[in-house]
Amino acid sequence: FIGVLVGANPRLRSTWQPIIDSIKARLNSWKSRQLSIGGRVTLINSVLASLPLFLFSFYKAPKKVIEKIIKLQRRFLWGGDGENKKMTWVSWDTICISKEKGGLGIKNLEAFNLALLIKWRWRILVE
């Protein structure tokens, strides 16, 4: 399930709403489980970051869409679900630093989106 209609304008936030809804649905399914912080980090890295992957590789996501996805990830990490806001103990920039450098290794979605787009440009130039 890709979640976007063919021919939709990727610059509109409404185009990305199915992806955001999909992320919210995943978070709601995990809400009742008692997950450790490590379990939440694993779910964010493996599941939540992979949902917009296909679209990120072809379209530049609007800043508001990336901010919304990060907000859902952040609330899930600290509060256990995507809706309720809890106290954050570390800045999100620190969380996104690699594990080797003291962070939790969660992908910076804006940089990830840009890297996937640049990959296509590089491929066109090389081939």
pLDDT tens per residue across span 24-57:
999 888 876 788 889 999 999 998 888 888 888 8
Amino acid at 38: G
- Which residues in the chain show pLDDT less than 70? 1-6, 32, 80-85
Contact 83, 72 (CB under 8 A): no
Rounded Cα gap, residues 94 and 91, in angstroms? 5
Domain ranges of the chain: 13-126
Global pTM? 0.85
